A and B are shown apart, each in its own frame.
Chain A
Amino acid sequence: MPMLKAEDVRFDYEYENEAPQTVLRGVNLTVEKGSFVALLGHNGCGKSTLAKHFNAILLPTGGRVLVEDLDTADEANTYPIRRRVGMVLQNPDNQLVSTIVEEDVAFGPENLGLPPEEIRRRVDEALEAVDMTAYRDHSPHRLSGGQKQRIAIAGVLAMHPDCLLLDEPTAMLDPQGRQEVLDTVCRLNREGMTVVLITHYMEEAALADRVVVMDEGVVLADGTPHTIFADVEKMRAWGLDVPQPTALCAALRDRGIDLPADLLTPEECAAALMQLLTDPNHRKA
């Protein structure tokens, strides 16, 4: 069943004294419930703009966006949609509202007008889900970037969404913070959460079960990470990188070494190389 559906979505940014700038030129995309989609594309390709259409922050100038059959263009649907589709932004500092961690997590459910006991229950549960219960009384500005981003995720989880949109959530984090956030996102996905992850890190995209590449406001490619990253030439032509193990295998293949094209993780790559090195039939001079 589809969670999110974009049907021929077009979007123009209107300016006061200038010609409108077209950002989306007919995007068709369906995100199934429970899936983990990575959205790739270089800066300005329209991926963030598309994400903002999925929780009714932006409304399409053409076509339509459906969230579980709710049309984002209908104003009565705005808040039901935002409750279902939670969004986490790039800069963790700019999305925390309160000076105390647990009160920040409570912000969403408070806006939904839930009774205090229910809010308390959800806050505890959300902090538990991102493994930040120990920091409930802390002030956000004393936390690390990864911790702040997990608080932001908890703040969204407390609204009990069905889908998480993450707009480059790891771009401003150090490697450890990135890993914390990715582990959390992967775990939530395994527990049934639909995840749309916008990222510039190909290793992160390799974790998804589907990769969508955008450029110039349209979807260029759509498939599993293995099929998308296998075409190293094409990815580079689109101005995108491939995961390092895939790049290594591609470079070795160029030298005439027989390796599969769709290796994504260091483990897969190491296994293939190991096999190659121990198998006498494949050994080359």
Chain B
Amino acid sequence: MMKDITLGQYFPGSSLLHRLDPRMKLVLTLLFIVLVFLPQNWWGLLAVLVFLVLVVALSRLPARLLWRSVKPVLFLVLFTAVLNMLYVHTGTTLVQWGFIHVTTGGLQNAAFIAVRILCLIAGSSLLTYTTTPTALTDGIEQLLSPLKWIKINPHELAMMMTIALRFIPTLMEETDKIMSAQKARGADLESGGLLQRVRALVPILIPLFVSSFRRAYDLAMAMECRCYQGGEGRTRMKQLRTAPRDWLSLAVYAAVAAGLVVLNGLFGSVLK
């Protein structure tokens, strides 16, 4: 049942997006989030949408992947849209029934926000689809390196992430085993109310915790055996290098941002 888990969501490929420096991809993803929130009118939003389609095309990812990342937030999108529809009361009234008061302005707002959130999710999921978890961790470690000055050790954070990623499949497998073992001894995990089911999880979580601690102890010793002394004096086999394509992408994103600001100025705002 848990055999089909993938580490992160990486989808192997060799597109331009796959080859970008992970640090730059992190920066670009943050920039994209800004881009999504810049437009104040439909022309701007259309520009963002076109840009997103272009980037997705460049990444050569199958569209169903993006659908997969968008699907779990559809409810949230719908909920936000409905709230906007009910609480924005500008323009002409379309429906007036009890507390339900829908106006053209409300509808416009709802649609705008929905498209915006969908773009946001689809765009930022590109990061995890095109970057391996290790490259991502390395990128985060290096981007956060200024934190050293406030006594936060980015190497330790990155190490924790790496180890967590490494042990997710191992612990999943173990959970599966423990569940089978407890079921074989008559544990009932599938019936009863919510409270009863939560209680049934205890005999699964406790052995899982105990074994995780044992693994942690072993791993710590294995790391010490391999001369691990924290981040001090450590080098990396794979060095991150920025290429012209990284700076070029950054320039494109900046240009799009500038374009969106211009569109805002030209067409004004439709948002309330």
Contacts and interface: CB of A to CB of B under 8 A. Distances in A.
A98 interface: yes
Contacts of B64: none
Interface string B215-241: 100110111111111000111111100
Given A97-B163, A99-B134, A113-B233, A159 B219 contact: no
A94 interface: yes
Contacts of B191: none
Contact of B162 (A55, A93, A97, A114): A97
A-side interface mostly: helix
Nearest to A139: B7
A93 B235 contact: no
Contact of B166 (A57, A99, A111): A99
Contacts of A89: 218, 221-222, 225
A55 B221 CA distance: 11
Contacts of B225: 55, 57, 82, 86-87, 89, 156
Nearest to B172: A141
Contacts of B224: 57, 82
B162 A113 contact: no
Given A89-B221, A106-B237, A139-B7, A79 B169 contact: no
B219 A95 contact: yes
Interface in B82-132: 132
Interface residues of A, number: 40
28 contacts: A55-B225, A57-B221, A82-B224, A82-B225, A82-B226, A82-B227, A86-B225, A87-B222, A89-B221, A89-B225, A91-B218, A97-B162, A97-B163, A97-B222, A99-B162, A99-B165, A100-B132, A103-B237, A107-B228, A110-B234, A110-B236, A111-B229, A111-B234, A113-B234, A141-B166, A155-B226, A156-B225, A159-B226
Interface string B226-263: 11110001111111000000000000000000000000
Contacts, number: 99
A93, A106, A112, A140: residue with the most chain B Cβ atoms closer than 10 Å: A93
Interface size grouping (class) on chain B: 20 to 34
A269 B96 CA distance: 98
B50 to A, nearest CB: 36
Given A91-B218, A97-B219, A97-B223, A141 B170 contact: yes
Contact of A99 (B133, B173, B239): B133
A94 B215 contact: yes
Interface string A87-131: 101010111111110110011111111111001100100000000
Interface of A: 55, 57, 79, 82-83, 86-87, 89, 91, 93-100, 102-103, 106-116, 119-120, 123, 139-141, 152, 155-156, 159
Contacts of A93: 170, 215
A24 to B, nearest CB: 18
Given A82-B227, A139-B7, A140-B166, A115 B235 contact: yes
Contacts of B236: 106, 110, 116, 119
Report, nearest first, the 5 A-B pairs whose CB atoms are least far apart: A95-B222, A94-B218, A106-B237, A108-B226, A141-B169
Contacts of A94: 214-215, 218-219, 222
A71 to B, nearest CB: 18
Contacts of A99: 7, 133-134, 162, 165-166
A79 B165 contact: no
Contact of A113 (B170, B173, B235): B235
B113 to A, nearest CB: 37
B155 to A, nearest CB: 11
A86 B239 CA distance: 26
B219 to A, nearest CB: 5
A152 B223 CA distance: 11
Contact of A159 (B165, B173, B227, B239): B227
A87 B224 CA distance: 10
Nearest to B211: A94
